Homo-oligomer: A and B are copies of this chain.
Amino acid sequence: MKEDEPAGPKVEDLIAQAKMVLDFNWTGEYTRPGPRLYPHQWSWDSALIALGYARYAPDRAMRELSHLFDAQWKNGLLPQIVFNPDFAAYFPDASFWHADESPDAPTHLRTSGIVQPPVHATAVLALLRNAAEAPGVRSFCEKAFSRLVSWHDYLYRERDPGGENLVYIRHPWESGMDNSPMWDAILESMFLYPSDIPSYKRADTHFVSSEDRPESAAYDRFAYLVKLFAERNYDEARIREDCPFLVQDVLFNSLLCRAERDLAELARTLGEEPSAFEARARKTAEAINDKLWDGERGTYLGFDLVSGAHIKVLAAPNFVALYGEVPDRKRARAMLARLSSPSFSLTEGTGVPVTSYDRLGFGFSSVRYWRGPVWVNIDWFLMHGLRRYGYEDEADRLREAIVRLCREEGFYEYFDPTTGMGHGSDLFSWTAALLLDVVLEG
């Protein structure tokens, strides 16, 4: 075990605390991302949580992912939210989504009608790597394999109509980075009449300071997009015709690149054919490099398919291309230089690395969700990404930041990069799960 700073609880206590956070949020079928703010199952939260369970509780990992796969749509869509019927207070609730409008949606339980970034193959592979001998793991992975193939096929079939090997997302929630400044210009250009905005009542700002959460004008647009999908019965071709939010996002496509490679390795281990997944991973990496690289900023930028222009916003999630092993050495060096600048404080500069958005950026806020605060999942992706390119010191600096934040501030959803203070939901599951993955990694 790496020696960690002495301040705060010893590592053993920290591990015990993290496990208690996950126990606290465990519902018996899945783990809530946060105790009050997030009562249902969220897709990429569950995958990141399963990564943590894979280190010490493979049975929980399998039940977490099975509950999600059980809600998979017939066309392969892995839903962003699987609703727990016991919790109605959350907005938007199941009835708001009208997912039942789609012939593909499951009927035995209710889900939302969008997706989240694909880290599920990565979680299943971690299970196979860390707990291959545990009872039931092998057979679970074999069943999960076909679910994952159908999920990735859905993305390439439905979200890459031009065959560019880049998939689009159609709602800020699909990026997982709901109110990132990356979406500002698109949301600003979404001009709404009052009649466009479905009536709704937010629940989140009862649990957390509204300063920490997206602004109401953003929520109007989130709700508007959901209504647009439901009115088109979730028919992707019809949605694509006039959906104002269609983005080839860097994080989403980089994680898909990583997930395809992990799917190929799963295939090799399970005696399946890996080459198709390797080929798709290679083509996606090529497409990210050809279309999304921005030399001036030294990283990749998302592409807005509606306005036909790159999204000129410098945000940390775009560096997760390192985790997908997308850049060559030269570009990885440029990305490290940018991460090490005061914009993200990976090495020099003040504050906790890394800010989720350029500290000198026009839209920076040190407390408002994805507009600047530090997120453990982004640090985790970048830590692993930097290690793959041999940048051990920088990777260690992120590892220390994850441990120090959990030890000194607690298992919060995100953290103020200047003060370190925790914000958003407390007892946040993926913060605890990724801390466990880091500390138990040895």
Contacts and interface: CB of A to CB of B under 8 A. Distances in A.
Interface stretch (A112-120, A148-156, A216-224, A232-240): A216-224
Nearest to A312: B189
Given A184-B184, A341-B193, A363-B217, A309 B307 contact: yes
Contacts of A189: 312-313
Given A194-B342, A307-B309, A341-B193, A360 B188 contact: no
A362 B217 contact: yes
A360 B194 contact: yes
Copies in the complex: 2
Interface in A151-192: 181, 184-185, 187-192
Nearest to A189: B312
Contacts of A307: 309
A297 B188 CA distance: 13
Interface residues of A, number: 32
Given A184-B184, A188-B361, A215-B362, 14 more contacts: A184-B188, A184-B363, A187-B362, A188-B313, A188-B362, A188-B363, A189-B312, A189-B313, A190-B362, A191-B312, A193-B341, A217-B362, A217-B363, A217-B364
26 contacts: A181-B188, A184-B184, A184-B185, A184-B362, A188-B312, A188-B313, A188-B361, A188-B362, A189-B312, A190-B362, A191-B296, A191-B297, A191-B312, A191-B358, A191-B361, A194-B341, A194-B342, A194-B360, A197-B360, A215-B362, A217-B361, A217-B362, A217-B363, A217-B364, A307-B309, A309-B309
